[in-house]
Amino acid sequence: MLRLDRGTHTLPWRVLVLIGLAAFVLFLPGRMATPPFDRDEPRYMEASAQMLETHNFIDVRFQDKPRYLQPAGIYWLEAMAVKAVGMEYARTVWPYRIPSLLAMTAAVVLTAIMGASLFGPMAGVGAAVLLMASVLVAAESRMGTIDSCLLLSVLVAQFALVRALGDRAAERVTPVGTAVLFWGAVGCGLMLKGPVVLIPSLATPLALGWLERNMDLWRRVRPAWGWLIAAAVVLPWCIAIGVVSHGDFFRRSVGVNFLGKVASGQEAHGLPPGYHLLVFLIAFWPGSYFAASVLPQVWRERRTLPVRYLLCWIVPHWLVFESIATKLPHYVLPTYPAIAILTAGLLAQSGTVWRHGPNARWGRVLLGVYAVLWCLVGCALAAAGAILLWKLEHQFSVPALVLAGGVLPLVSLAMWQIWRAELCYAALSSAVAAALLYVGLFTVVVPQLRSIWLAPRLVELVQAHKPCAQTQVYSVSFSEPSLVFLIGGKVVLTGAAQAAQAMRDHPACTAALVDVRERQTFMDALGADGARAVSRGTVAGLNYSNGHAMAISLYTLDMPAPGQAH
């Protein structure tokens, strides 16, 4: 029986500092050189930038449209980060990604602390390594979106629950500060993404209480009055936005966004149950195989308190998001720290050789097949950089090949160690492979994929050829939010006829971005003025958001010389 009250179940602060530095350094590469990832990230960035420009910190907007999807917490954090580095007047990407970097780094450290509390110091370090090495965490930590900060709020709440569990095991009173920490984290999560934070934070103690027929853990966080702390965090803004929007925020965020995702797949993301389980192989790689390998041991130790607690964290959240219609990989991200802790904790018990695998032959066969798929994913990720540069940019990249040459042997070594049942060593080898992979991809490969970064190149074209300082740009064919953010919000996303009309009305200071497929429609709409339309350059590439190849030209009207008839 594992215990939570052992004095040895702590990590020295020096180790925690090293874990935090390792996570920070691993998450750092690529955030300056990589343009905004369409479509969510630049929407957050643009709304935060508009907050700084307008000083309206209540009513979140994207251009002239209200962005009533979630509360304002993430926009406040991004605006604060940009203001702190003094870049509120520049459309530079990296300051908007600071909250994600810091939040994910803190999440890794908290995972180590909780892993050590539940299973011992080695398990804490292993859990931190598995979490920071996962594909989804590496991606989310580099994007200026909400999910890294939401994950941190969930982890703070779970950290408070782990402390309360320790108090229960030691038969001591849980301090009021632990309850304040729990409900404060819930309140911050509500300010970030509304009721989503309630699923892991409340379901964990309630599910544990239901299984044990004992609600002591729930009572230890003082729900009778604790909810007032969460309400105090979120209620002032809720009242303000309710007044400003005349209640429209709640109709859209709860009725359309939140409940709409439950009932139907939004934005073409409707998928059947089982999606998250399938994607887990890639999203949690390289930890996905090791999580699968400990499942038999999880079942055998399901009645021990640490395992039961982690299952009460993982299972309710996972089932909720498998059952709703809209599915995206990051929806189950709040379960990843628990999976990392559970995996590392059980692996740490095995010593050098893992002896707790499935007993049945069919179980061993399934795990073997999963190991092969896991290896293929690792090989594909290692080779992806060189292949993408060859396919998209027609470049034979020696650095990308060197990257693959460094990662593939480590994946092979990990596979050999898996074959020998040396899972702890295999996890370490594959984590090193993942670290090399991410650093190489985000420093060598991603910045060179110019064909997919259409928005930065279109902005360069506009800046080089705009007819006057206050040129109004109309984008006919490319409506991605990255263009809106990088051009400073000063672009109208419209159709060919509207852009042509604007160009006829204000010929001196109007420009239009038009794809080759809509060129004729645009010219026909210009009518007689079409003869004066001049292409100032063309940007060709792939819109990765919809998979369309595009060749977008910048058009202006050639103005007649002074004294010349129009």
The residue with greater pLDDT, 468 or 105, is 105
558 pLDDT higher than 90: no
Give the tens place of pLDDT for each residue, 110-157: 999 999 999 999 999 999 999 999 999 999 999 999 999 999 999 999
Give the tens place of pLDDT for each residue, 382-401: 999 999 999 999 998 898 99
CA of residue 274 relative to chain centroid, distance: 20
Q: Which of 147, 134, 144, 152 is nearest to 438 (CA)?
A: 134
Give the tens place of pLDDT for each residue, 2-52: 445 444 568 999 999 999 999 999 999 998 889 999 999 999 999 999 999
Tokens of 231: 């309400």
**Mean pLDDT in the chain?**
92
332 pLDDT higher than 50: yes
Give the tens place of pLDDT for each residue, 180-211: 999 999 999 999 999 999 999 999 999 999 99
End-to-end, the C-alpha distance of the chain in Å comes to: 90
Give the tens place of pLDDT for each residue, 219-261: 999 999 999 999 999 999 999 999 999 999 988 887 666 655 5
269 pLDDT higher than 80: no
pLDDT of residue 200: 95
562 pLDDT higher than 60: no
| CB proximity list for 193: less than 8 A, separation 6 or greater | 70, 71, 73, 74, 146, 150
Banded model confidence at residue 1, pLDDT cuts 50, 70, 90: very low
pLDDT of residue 261: 56
351 pLDDT higher than 90: no
Q: Which of 546, 388, 541 is nearest to 455 (CA)?
A: 541
Evaluated on CA atoms 239, 241, 243, 249, the torsion sign reads negative
Residue 8: burial class (beta carbons within 10 Å; 0-12, 13-18, 19+): exposed
pLDDT of residue 252: 85
Which domains are seen in the chain, by residue range? 13-348 (no CATH), 361-449 (no CATH), 453-557 (3.40.190)
C-alpha separations of 203 from 193, 206, 210, 315, 563 in Å? 17, 5, 10, 9, 76
Banded model confidence at residue 555, pLDDT cuts 50, 70, 90: very high
The residues with which 283 forms a beta bridge, in sequence order, are: none
pLDDT of residue 84: 96
Among 40-54, 285-299, 546-560, where is mean pLDDT lowest? 546-560
* Percentage of the residues of the chain whose pLDDT score is greater than 90: 84
pLDDT of residue 79: 97
Among 409-418, 498-507, 557-566, where is mean pLDDT lowest? 557-566
CB contact burial 511-528 (16+ within 10 A = b; e otherwise): bbbbbeebbeebbebbee
The average pLDDT across 466-492 equals 94
Asked if residues 172 and 187 have their Cβ atoms less than 8 Å apart, the reply is no
The residues with which 513 forms a beta bridge, in sequence order, are: 475, 554
Q: Which of 348, 353, 359 is nearest to 420 (CA)?
A: 353
